Structure 1
C-alpha cells in the first residue's frame, strides 16, 4: 500500500501542513482514521493530534476553510467541526494518570510519545505525519500494523493496568473485535476477564453505548460470545448470561438457549440494521430460564416465556438506560414472537388472523422477520418447512387485510358519539363500549364499517349502561 498516495487523495490536508508550519507545531493523523486506511474501510472521521494547542489549531484551520462553527471542549482540550462530508476532531498531545475509583484521568500536556502511550489498543496507536519534511510517514510505535494484518486486538501497554485505569476499554475491546471480526490477544482477554468487576465504576450509559455498538456490528455474536466467555456479560447483562446452559428441545432451535439466541441475532442482522429489531431478537427468549419445566414424554417446556419476557422489558430498559421510546416496540415483538407459527393450520379463523394484525400493528413485518430469524436448525428441510409456514401466515394476513381493511383499525364509533348518545361523561365505561365494538369486528360478528358498528353499538349500549347502574 502506498500510504502517501492515500493521504494525497485528501488534497485539503496540505492546508494542515501550512497551518502547522505557521504555528510552529507538529500535526498528525491518528487513531481510527489511520487504522481504517489499512482495513480499507470507509473514512469520514478524521482525528488530528496537535503537539501543542489543539483548539487553537482547529480554529486556524476552520478560518482557512471559511468555517465559523467550531465546537471547543475546554475541559478536554479538544475541538470539532465539519467540513464537506467529514468530521474533524482535534486534540492536543497529552499524558494521563488515573485514580482507582474513577475512569476520568488527570490530564497534562504531553509529547507525541505520551499521547500514543495513553491509547488503548495497538491498532489505534498508528499515526501519520502531516508535517512538511515527513509528510505521509507512518509512526507505528506498538507494531499496530502487524496486529491489523493478524486481526488481533491487543492493548498497547500492560492489559491489567490498561483496564484498571479505564474499565470501559474492556467493552471497547469486544466491540472492536465484533466490528472488525478480529480475535482478542490471550493476555488482553485474560485481563478483561479478571478486571470485569471494574466495569461497575463506569456509567451505565457508556456501557450500554458500547453494548449497542456490538449489537450493530456485522456479526454481533462475535462480541456477545466474547462477553460471555470472559464473564463480562454476567456483570453487565446477567439476564442474557443466564440463558447459557438452559437446555431445550432441538426441533428448529439450538439445544442451548444462549447459543440459539446468538444465532437468531446473527440471522436477523443479515437482513436488518435496525438495532431495536436486533435487540428484540436478543430478548425474545429472555424468560426461558424462569419458565423452564420438564414434562414427561415432551421434554423441557417454557410455557408463558413470551409473556413473562415482555414484562421483563421495562425493568431491563430502565436498568440499561435504554430509550423508553423503544420499549413498546421491543415488548410487543417479544410477546408476539410465538403467535404467527400457531396460525398455520387450515382451521385457523379469520378472527385469529385479525387479532394478530391488530396486535402487531405496523410492526407485523418486523415480527415475521424475527420469527424467520428464530429458525436455527441445521436441517435445511425443517428450515424450509418453517419458512414456508410463515409465508402461509403472511398470505392469510394479506387476504384478511384486503377483505377487512384493518390497516388503521379502531372502533368506527368514536368516543364522543358514545358519550353523547349514552349521556355519560368521559369514563372507563366509554372505553369498555369501544372495546366491545372492536372485539365484535375482530370476531367477524360485524364488518369493519361505521354502519354495522353503529347498529351494534345501539344493540349493546343498554346492557353496559344497566350494568353500570347496578354497581
Structure 2
C-alpha cells in the first residue's frame, strides 16, 4: 500500500527530479528503493541510490549519462541492471523483476515484473520501501510489506517466508546479522529460526562476499552484538570456529573477564569506541585466539596461556588466508597479536631503555595502534584496577616518548646492510649474514654503539672473528 507520509529529500532532491523527468519523457515509472529510503526514515540521507524502473533500466541509465554527462555506465544485461557515478553519487538502475533460484546456486533466473513483485524479492521488509519522485507526489512513501512499522519497532524481518528467502540467497543470512548489529535492531523470531535452519547454505557463497558482510558488521558501533548473534545462530562455527573455541575458557580474573570469548567481545567494543579501522578491530578480535590451545593450570597461579601470542600470530595467518584478507592486513594483525603482551611487561620502574627501544623498533609504525589495543585489553570490572593499569601504560608511553626523542626510533633502520657485511667479510649470502646483522642491531638497541655507518662498521670488524 502507499502511505500518505512524505519523506523529505534535501541534498539529493535535484538528482531525483532529473531521474523523474527523464523517466516520464520515456513513459517509464522509476522509484528510489531500499537502503536510501530506509536511511531517510532513520534520519540520514545517503549517496548510494537504487532505482527500480518499470521499463528498460539500462536504456534509462544510458540516457541519463548522455543528458547529464555522468560517469561510464556499467551494465549487467542478464539482470537488467546498470550502474553509474554522478557527482558524488553512486546510482543503480534495475528493471523491475521477479527471480527464481536454483537450489545449487545463488544466481537467479530473472523475469520482468512490476514494482510490487520487485520489492517482494528483497531481503528484509526495511529494504522494501520505495518513494515516488513524480512532481505531483514527490517523496510519498510506498510501503507494501510493513517496512515502516518494522523500522519503528526495530525489527529485522523478511517480506516472504524466511526459509525461502535465505535458501534462495544465503548471503542474506549474514546481512540479517549485519543489519541487526549496525542498526541495533532485533531479529524477528521466525526469521531467527530460519537462519539456524538454513545456515549450512552459506557454503555456496564465496568467501569474499561473506568477508565483506563481516567487515561491515565489524564496523558497527557495538560489533560484539554481531559476534554474539553469530554464536547464538551457529554461524560462528561455520565462519570463524576458532572464536567458538574460546567460549567457556576461563582465565585469571585480574584485568580480564573470566571467559575468554566475552573478554574478547569487550576488547572489541572498547577499541571500537576509539577507532573505525577495520584491521585494528580485527586485531582486537583475534588477540587471544590461541588461548584455548595454550591453556594450562598451574597450582598456586591458576590458568596460564604461555605462548598464546606467538601461536595466535601463526593462527591469524591461516584465518586471514581463509577469509581472503589482503597479505598486508594479515601481517599487520599478526604483528599486533604477537606484540600485545609486550607493553605490559615494561611497566616496572627498573625497565631499561634497551627494552623500550626493542619494543619500539619491533612495533615500528604500528606502535600507536599497539598501545590502543593494550588499553582496550583492560576489561576488569574493578575501577581501581582499571585505573592502575591505565596509569602503568601512561608510564610506558612516557618512557617511549623520552627514548624516541633521544633516538628517533619510530622508523628505525640499521645504518649497515647485508651487502656491506658480505663485502667486508668476503662471505656469500646466508644465515651468517643475518646473524651478524642482528648482533649489530642488538648492540645499537642496547646502547653500546650509535646507529651510524662508521660505528656499525667498526663493531662489525670487532665481532667478525
TM bin (shorter chain):
over 0.9
Distance 1:206 1:8 in 2: 31
Q: Which string of whole-angstrom CA distances, capped at 9 and with x for unpartnered residues, describes residues 87-131 of structure 1?
A: 111000010011111111111111111101101100000011223
Asked if 2 retains the 8 angstrom alpha-carbon contact of 1:52 and 1:93, the reply is: yes
1:407/1:245 CA distance change after superposition, 3 Å:
same
1:331 to 312, 331, 334: 334
- 1:107 maps to which residue? 110
d(CA) in 1 for partners of 2:309, 2:419? 36
SS of the equivalent of 2:441 reads: helix
Alignment of 1:55-94 (within 5 A): 55-67=58-70, 69-94=72-97
Q: Which residue of 2 aligns with 1:190?
A: 193
Matches within 5 A, 1:428-467: 428-461=431-464, 463=465
Say which SS state the counterpart of residue 11 (structure 1) adopts.
helix
User: What TM-score, normalized to structure 2?
Assistant: 0.96
Would you say the 8 A contact 1:306–1:336 is kept in 2?
A: yes
CA shift for structure 1 position 256 = 0.9
User: Does 2:306 correspond to 1:279?
Assistant: no
- Once the two structures are TM-superposed, the CA of residue 364 in structure 1 deviates from its matched residue by 0.7
CA distance in 2, matches of 1:57, 1:371: 53
Pick which of 202-211 and 72-81 moved more. 72-81
> Which stretches in structure 2 are left out of the alignment for 5+ residues?
none
Q: 1:317 aligns with which of 317, 320, 328?
A: 320
Deviation at 1:321, TM superposition (A): 1.1
Q: Deviations over 1:168-207 (max 9, x none)?
A: 1110001011111111111111111121111111111111
Where 1:24 maps in the other structure, the secondary structure is coil
Whether 2:181 is the aligned partner of 1:178: answer yes
Q: Which residue of 2 aligns with 1:129?
A: 132
Match of 1:468 in 2: none
Q: Secondary structure at the match of 1:27?
A: strand
Determine the structure 1 residue equivalent to 2:407: 404
Partner SS state of residue 29, structure 1: strand
The reply to whether residue 13 of structure 1 matches residue 16 of structure 2 is: yes
| 1:24 aligned residue (24, 27, 43) | 27
TM-superposed deviation, 1:307: 0.8
SS in 2 for 1:157: coil
Map of 1:392 onto structure 2: 395
Cα distance change of structure 1 residues 293 and 109 upon mapping to structure 2, 3 Å threshold: same
Partner of 2:386: 383
CA-atom RMSD in angstroms? 1.6
* TM-score scaled by length of structure 1: 0.95
- Cα distance change on mapping 1:311 and 1:4 into 2, 3 Å: closer
SS at match of 2:9: helix
Instruction: Give the Cα separation in 2 of the matches to 1:181 and 1:164.
Output: 25
Residue 35 (structure 1) aligned with residue 38 (structure 2): yes
- Give runs of aligned pairs for residues 244-283 of structure 1, distance below 5 A: 244-283=247-286
Which secondary structure state, in structure 1, belongs to the residue aligned with residue 351 of structure 2? coil
TM-superposition CA deviations, 1:333-364 (whole Å, max 9, x none): 00110110011011211221111111111111
Q: Partners in 2 of 1:272 and 1:136 — Cα distance?
A: 36
For the residues of structure 1 that align with 2:452 and 2:109, how far apart are their CA atoms?
Answer: 69
Q: How many Å separate the matches in 2 of 1:375 and 1:12?
A: 49
- Quick check: 2:128–2:145 contact (8 Å CA) kept in 1? yes
Alignment match, 2:229? 226
CA distance in 2, matches of 1:166, 1:4: 30
Question: Contact 1:97–1:107 (CA<8 Å) still a contact in 2?
Answer: yes
Map 1:361-376 onto structure 2 (within 5 A).
Answer: 361-376=364-379
2:304 corresponds in structure 1 to: 301
Q: Which runs of 5+ in 1 are unaligned?
A: 464-471
After superposition, the Cα gap between the structure-2 partners of 1:4 and 1:406, relative to the gap in structure 1 and judged at 3 Å, is: closer
SS in 2 for 1:96: strand
Given that 1:411 and 1:435 are in contact with CA atoms closer than 8 Å, whether structure 2 keeps it comes out as no
